[in-house]
Amino acid sequence: MIALELPWLVFACLFVILAGIFFVWICYEILERRRARQALRHRLHCALCGMDFSDATGDPLPRCPRCNSLTERREPRFF
């Protein structure tokens, strides 16, 4: 049997609980960023007129619905 004094036992329990909360928090942040990236995957920004629009066709150069210019696909940037 392992004998621990009360302050060390309290410290060990708090450490385990806080480590678990930190792990869950990190996993949630990773999933939230992945979800945001999926939501913005089809969003495009026209460089000519400045309109933000959605296009899920998969064309390499989709046309802007406002000015009908070709718009280049770019990866969404995150902080």
7-11, 18-22, 41-45 — most confident range: 18-22
6 is written with which tokens? 């009360």
43 is written with which tokens? 């969003």
The region, left, alpha or beta by phi > 0 then psi within -120 to 50, assigned to residue 68 is left
| Cβ contact 52:73 at 8 Å | no
Mean pLDDT, residues 34-38 taken together? 87
User: Which one has a higher pLDDT value, 76 or 43?
Assistant: 43
The Cα 52–Cα 28 span in angstroms is 28
Kindly indicate the confidence band of residue 28, based on its pLDDT and cuts at 50, 70 and 90: very high
In sequence order, the 6+-apart residues with CB closer than 8 A to the CB of 56 are 42
Kindly indicate the confidence band of residue 22, based on its pLDDT and cuts at 50, 70 and 90: very high
32 is written with which tokens? 């939230």
Ranges of each domain in the chain? 1-41, 42-74
The Cα 18–Cα 15 span in angstroms is 5
